[in-house]
Amino acid sequence: MRLDIQLFGALPARRISKTRKRLRRTHLKKEAPTITTCPNCNSPIAPHRACTNCGYYKGKDVLGKEEKVEENKESKKSDK
């Protein structure tokens, strides 16, 4: 697709019409990041990453955050 652009590469700005420039840039856009939920604590996480909240990945506590999470739960209970 759009071989004319690929063949000649960079050109002076006035050689590229507004329409051609805008058509090319229709593909340039920022995509929303993919977000899944942690199966352990249900907080939003990036896929294929350890959970930043509880430190779990594939059912294991890989970051050693288990004790901290328990502390947080206790502090929440004391608030209520």
Name the site residues for Zn ion (rule: CB under 5 A).
38, 40-41, 51, 53-54, 56
- 19-54 in b/e form (b: 16+ CB < 10 A) is eeeeeeeeeeeeeeeeeeebebeeeebeeeebbebb
Pick between residue 21 and residue 60 the one whose CB is nearest to Zn ion. 60
For residue 45, give the nearest of 57, 35, 54 by alpha carbon.
35
Closest approach of Cβ 53 to Zn ion, in Å?
5
Closest to Zn ion by CB, 24 or 43: 43
Closer to Zn ion by Cβ: residue 22 or 44: 44
CB of 32 to Zn ion, least distance (A): 21
Distance between CA atoms of residues 34 and 45, nearest Å: 9
Instruction: Quote the least distance from Cβ 47 to Zn ion, whole Å.
Output: 13
Q: Which two tokens stand for residue 35?
A: 């977000």
